[in-house]
Chains A and B, each alone.
Chain A
Amino acid sequence: MVAAKSIYKRYSFLWMLVPALAIYTMLIAYPFVSSLALSFFKWPGIGPKEYVGLANYKNVLTGYMSREFYRALGHNVIFFILSWLTGIIPGLIFALFLSAGIWGTNFFKTLFFIPNTLSIVIVGFLWSLLLNPQWGFINQALKIVGLGVLAKPWLGDTTLALPTIILVNAWRSMGFFILTFLAGIVGIDREMFEAARIDGANEWQIITKIIVPQLIPIIGTLTILKVIWSFNVFDIVFAMEGTQAGPAGSTDVLGTLFYRIAFGGLGSSDVGMGLGATVVTLIFLIVFPISIIYVYLVEKRTKAG
């Protein structure tokens, strides 16, 4: 009796986990498991579900959906590469300038961060107006300064549409990268800069030999976050090109492909929740291992700190 009471006391902390575990199960685990289960069924979203085994996976990976799936996957990869180049590198450069304590640093920090506070739908709407080929500000401005030859149908060209969306996305998230890098730069021991200057190092050498190497863990973490965001991207494409992710599917990513399959687009005659769940599961299989690496790196940095 005494032993049982002692065991109960020792493990009584488990009760404290119940509320969090219940919320996690309800909001994360259950939807995920039910989505995974759904990927083995044919279900238009209503009525009885029909078990089809791995047919949905076959259709997506090698069957009639494979062309769209691999095209969308390719666009996610492009999204990651271009958004890394247009997000992290400029973010680092701007952060270096702002860390130098130039005039108006706080003003520019705020200015860069403002787009990050806007909802993606608003950003998409605003930029769709700005990029309108006939009366949008961008093309009008290019024409006024004599660069009319550069005025393009930004969102209506299969080559330009995806990079344009990525640039808009970079514009919105720039403030986040700048602030993250600034926090990293502030965290570097100032004595290292002073020692380097005494040793005769110039600013370029301080940046390349001290600041950038010290920021490598942050760059790594941000890169992993970029991978996760790039493979989960949906909202900005949806806001600027709709569920069809046009023109001619040139901006279609896994998120918009999933939306079209699961819920159907305007006028679509079919919806397939099972097939949609299959795409979601495949996105998860891509993102999950990367998320594990991210958590590992963050834990490692926390412990090291």
Chain B
Amino acid sequence: MKKLVIIVLSLLILVGSFTFAGGKQEKATTGQVTVKFWGWRAQDEAVWKKVQAALQAQGKNIVIDYSTIKPTEYDSKLSLSLQGGTGPDLFLTRRLPGKRTQGLIDAGYIQALDGIVDFSHFTPTTLGFIQSGGKTWGVPFANQIVGIFYNKDIFDKYGLTEPATWGELLDICKKLKSNGVTPFMVPGKSAWALAMQHAMVGVSFPGEEWIGKVIRGETNFMDPKFIELNRMLNDLKVYYQKDFMANDTTDMSAGFAMGQAAMVFYGIWGGTRWKELNPDFHYGYFPVPPKTAKEKPHVYVYMDGSYGLNKASKNKEAAIEILKFTATPEYGKIFSETTGEMTALKDAELPKDNPILLEGYKYANTIASKYIYWVGSPFQKGNPTVYEILREGMQAMYLDKITPEELAKRVQDGISSWYKPLQK
């Protein structure tokens, strides 16, 4: 009996202390709302500090608790937390079409934002990457542009200019190599970057119209033009750094920023890292040139992702305030200035001291490819995706395990196994 009394008393004290602690916390945070925000982008932490300050300056007492999760683990952690009811109020979502974001939409974890957020500062193309079923499921944050980045000092030293054709690019490579300079630094170990390289060359040759034909099923990946593209890439590897298949993107950034190679195939987001590694680094950008002067170059531009709202958020009002702010040109300016990336907002003021960003905007608005076959394309909707096939396929081709023809066959066989227009 005595024991029972002690146990009951202990439990009462325990419960009482929790209640007291809860009450104390409530009192301490009166008027202030903390919004939990998850993302895979570590570079955004500074952005959210600035957003928090801007909101607080407007008299909104909101604290943004932003956490970065490793990109490879992000999606599974997010979906598990949303299912368990412990998910963040706001979170980064991948672009559509894609099964990850669509899965969250179908399961009812994301709230549609039509009528809540003013989307008038976005182009329909940008919004299209986060719309499905006639609804908008997030606020787009960035458009990414990929292409060839080059070391301006090396180009100036050897009197080189941006090439207009693939042939001119090869001439640049020959001249650099004959002078003992490595023309390209390529991260062969980072398979995803090789798939990206393939796709960014593909929009200029065979080009956007050809990609449109493949999407419609009017030709397929066994087309001689696609095989030729594979061969062009494979032939270019003589101009890559020695043993490039053992280098990843970290090595590539270090080597490029330190002047060990003249060019890289990469995305505009790389600039922040290059400048961190070498503040005196001068670099430029040009779209991958087409095969002949008769064709026009195109750039691969894609919407990177968006900010989604947890339908079950307990801090919805504050979370919506943040989302509304991220749809304003003021936010676009903060984002571009802080990250050096292209904001998804069409009318944001651009940082004048970032010529690459201004150039990226110019290209994105003038020569962005209408059709693509990498992320954001119809070839990502089934299994295997074109991305998955190209990742391993490009490594295999660069290692001479398969020929350019065999790479084309892998893509054709893989995609036609589920993509109806290519099953003819």
Contact = CB atoms under 8 A, between A and B. Distances in A.
A45 B76 contact: yes
A248 B398 CA distance: 10
A104 interface: no
B103 A45 contact: yes
Given A134-B255, A134-B260, A155-B246, A271 B188 contact: no
A44 B103 CA distance: 8
B383 interface: yes
Contact of A266 (B99, B192, B241, B380): B192
B381 A153 contact: no
B346 interface: no
B191 interface: yes
Contact of B246 (A45, A133, A242, A270): A133
A114 B260 CA distance: 36
A45 B396 contact: no
B188 A269 contact: no
Given A132-B251, A271-B75, A244 B246 contact: no
Q: Is the interface of B mostly helix, strand, loop or mixed?
A: helix
Interface in B370-418: 375, 380-381, 383-385, 387-388, 391-392, 395-396, 399, 401, 417
Given A47-B106, A156-B245, A248-B399, A271 B100 contact: yes
Residue among B245, B255, B380 facing the most chain A CB atoms (10 A cut-off): B245
Nearest to B75: A264
A267 interface: yes
A47 B72 CA distance: 20
B399 A247 contact: yes
Given A134-B255, A246-B189, A269-B380, A154 B246 contact: yes
A64 interface: yes
Contacts, number: 116
Given A134-B241, A155-B246, A46 B391 contact: no
Contact of A246 (B83, B243, B395): B395
A270 B189 contact: no
Interface residues of B, number: 48
Interface string B41-61: 000000000000000000000
Contacts of A47: 103, 106-107
Interface string B81-112: 01100000000000000111001101101000
B103 A158 contact: no
B206 to A, nearest CB: 23
Contact of A244 (B71, B75, B191, B245): B191
Contacts of A156: 188-189, 243-247
Interface string B200-244: 000000000000000000000000000000000000000001111
Contacts of B260: 134
A134 B251 contact: yes
Interface residues of A, number: 34
A153 B188 CA distance: 11
A184 interface: no
A76 interface: no
A64 B75 CA distance: 24
Contact of B247 (A46, A133, A243): A133
A271 B76 contact: yes
B99 A271 contact: yes
Q: Is the interface of A mostly helix, strand, loop or mixed?
A: loop
B392 A133 contact: no
Given A133-B246, A133-B247, A247-B399, A155 B189 contact: yes
A249 interface: yes
A253 interface: no
B79 interface: yes
Contacts of A262: 76
Residue among A154, A157, A244 facing the most chain B CB atoms (10 A cut-off): A244
A267 B391 CA distance: 11
A270 B395 CA distance: 21
Contacts of B99: 44, 269-271
Given A132-B251, A244-B191, A270-B385, A157 B79 contact: no
A246 B191 contact: yes
Given A46-B107, A47-B106, A152 B399 contact: no
Contacts of A247: 188-189, 191, 245, 395, 399
A263 interface: yes
Contacts of A271: 75-76, 99-100
Interface string B234-275: 000000011111110001000100001000000000000000
A268 interface: yes
A67 to B, nearest CB: 11
Nearest to B109: A46
A131 B255 CA distance: 16
B50 to A, nearest CB: 27
A90 interface: no
Contact of B391 (A44, A152, A244): A244
Contacts of A248: 392, 395-396, 399, 401
Interface string A233-252: 00000000111101111000
A269 B385 CA distance: 7
A64 B401 contact: no
Contacts of B241: 134
Across the A-B interface, the 8 shortest Cβ-Cβ residue pairs: A156-B246, A156-B245, A153-B243, A133-B243, A153-B246, A47-B107, A248-B395, A248-B396
Interface of A: 44-47, 64, 131-134, 152-158, 241-244, 246-249, 262-271
Given A157-B245, A267-B375, A270-B383, 15 more contacts: A45-B75, A64-B384, A132-B247, A133-B242, A133-B243, A134-B247, A156-B188, A156-B244, A156-B247, A157-B246, A157-B399, A246-B395, A248-B401, A263-B75, A269-B388
12 contacts: A46-B107, A64-B383, A132-B246, A133-B243, A133-B247, A267-B195, A268-B385, A268-B387, A269-B98, A270-B99, A271-B75, A271-B76
